[in-house]
């Protein structure tokens, strides 16, 4: 059970454990090792991690499971792929949630994340869901929020719930820049909510949840990154600066995929995503659940993880994605594709 600040911090920062696929891949591993030559430093660690992951002898379960509490949201950020979401708004029921948490415990899941494309705090049962997960000894429970609903009462409930980590997306240092992100939220309210959360956490003598601020860099806010870091660093545990992830309009032609020196994505060996309607999809960037890997209405998490559809996705990742989901061919999440670096 993750009961201390250090244990929570270690859980968040840990590297992916070694898991793999049940078929021979020695030749592929050798090719990937050769391609580490002249790899830029930012990608070296990722590629070494992939190597360790796929050359292991066995795999059994996901380490991280996303349980989308809701895909509803009270904001409309310009960089968020949710703008293209077409699936119906839904809230995961407590009955389904309890069933999935119990299954996560049975297969020894390390981390449960209660978000994908929605605002978690819109879920009226979000605190109850955290409390239940911790009562079942899930090591780390994590969620993202835009901070609008993080008032004093909610802050106190989250701090006392056993939540291991809280990420707040704010993406601006000034009100003017914040408005340009198209959030339709009040900057000063969110800023005050963060300070209130920090104050309550300190008053209660708690070191968890670990508080991280997420800052997605765009052309509109790039100039405020340093001021943002300097201002918030004394108050929070981590500041995460990252680029935005988008999807291209048209899939990459199959012959281009085949000719690329692609690197596998670790998600199919490490992470499972359950949408609020109970369908299991490829990853948290599959905004409309296009890649259906199963449904928890008819199968258990373990059955889906070890099922034929997941195996096919893993095989496609290890064979240049030619026969893989179209979604993977348009994903711009770095550093999953070697098109962002020169070939060795």
Cα 244 to Cα 79, 247, 271, 337: the distances in Å are 7, 10, 20, 15
Task: Report which of residues 213 and 26 the model is more confident about.
Answer: 213
For residue 335, cis peptide bond before it (omega within 30 degrees of 0):
yes
How is residue 73 written in tokens?
């949201």
Provide the pLDDT confidence category of residue 255 given band limits of 50, 70 and 90.
very low
Residue 9 has pLDDT above 50, yes or no: no
Residues 29-57, mean pLDDT to the nearest whole number: 54
Sheet hosting strand 111-113, strand order edge to edge: 238-243, 210-217, 165-169, 140-145, 111-113, 64-67, 271-274, 279-281, 292-295
Task: Report which of residues 244 and 169 the model is more confident about.
Answer: 169
Residue 29 has pLDDT above 50, yes or no: no
pLDDT at 236: 95
pLDDT at 258: 44
Task: Report which of residues 196 and 330 the model is more confident about.
Answer: 196
Place of tokens 């929570």: 8
What lies within 8 Å, CB to CB, of 201 at 6+ separation is 155, 159, 209, 211
Give the SS3 label for residue 64.
strand
Indicate whether this model's pTM tops 0.75.
yes
Print burial letters for 184-210: b (CB count within 10 Å at least 16), e (below 16): ebebeebbebbebbbebbeeeeeebbb
H-helix segments, the chain: 5-13, 26-34, 41-54, 94-106, 126-135, 152-161, 175-180, 187-203, 225-232, 254-259, 267-270, 301-305, 308-318, 326-330
Residues 290-295, mean pLDDT to the nearest whole number: 92
* Burial of 308 per CB tally in 10 Å (0-12, 13-18, 19+): exposed
Left, alpha or beta for 205 (phi > 0: left; psi -120 to 50: alpha)? left
* Burial of 236 per CB tally in 10 Å (0-12, 13-18, 19+): middle
Is the CB of residue 335 less than 8 Å from the CB of residue 341? yes
% of residues, the chain, pLDDT over 90: 50
Average pLDDT, the chain: 79
pLDDT at 227: 95
Most confident residue range from 158-162, 212-216, 258-262, 316-320: 158-162
């Amino acid at each position: 059970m993750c009961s201390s600040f250090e244990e929570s911090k270690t859980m968040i920062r840990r590297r992916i454990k070694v898991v793999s696929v049940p078929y021979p891949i020695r030749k592929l591993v050798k090719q990937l090792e050769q391609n580490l030559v002249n790899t830029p430093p930012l990608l070296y660690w990722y590629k070494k991690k992939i190597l360790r992951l796929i050359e292991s002898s066995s795999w059994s379960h996901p380490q991280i499971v996303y349980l989308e509490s809701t895909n509803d949201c009270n904001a409309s950020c310009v960089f968020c792929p949710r703008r293209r979401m077409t699936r119906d708004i839904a809230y995961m029921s407590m009955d389904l949630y309890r069933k999935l948490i119990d299954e996560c415990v049975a297969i020894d899941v390390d981390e449960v994340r209660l978000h994908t494309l929605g605002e978690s705090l819109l879920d009226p049962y979000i605190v109850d869901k955290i409390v239940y997960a911790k009562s079942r000894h899930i090591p780390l429970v994590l969620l993202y929020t835009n901070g609008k609903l993080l008032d004093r009462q909610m802050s106190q409930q989250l701090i006392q719930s056993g939540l291991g980590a809280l990420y707040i997306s704010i993406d601006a240092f000034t009100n003017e820049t914040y408005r340009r992100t198209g959030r339709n939220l009040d900057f000063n309210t969110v800023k005050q909510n963060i300070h209130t959360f920090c104050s309550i956490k300190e008053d209660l003598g708690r070191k968890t949840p670990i508080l991280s601020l997420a800052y997605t860099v765009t052309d509109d806010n790039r100039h405020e990154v340093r001021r943002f870091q300097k201002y918030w660093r004394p108050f929070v545990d981590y500041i995460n600066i990252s680029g935005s992830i988008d999807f291209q309009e048209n899939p990459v032609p199959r012959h281009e995929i085949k000719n690329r020196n692609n690197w596998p994505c670790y998600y199919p060996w490490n992470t499972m995503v359950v949408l609020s309607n109970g369908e299991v999809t490829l990853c948290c960037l599959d905004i409309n659940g296009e890649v259906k890997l199963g449904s928890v209405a008819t199968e258990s998490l373990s059955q889906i993880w070890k099922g034929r559809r997941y195996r096919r996705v893993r095989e496609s990742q290890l064979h240049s994605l030619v026969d893989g989901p179209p979604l993977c061919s348009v994903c711009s999440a770095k550093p999953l594709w070697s098109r962002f670096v020169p070939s060795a």
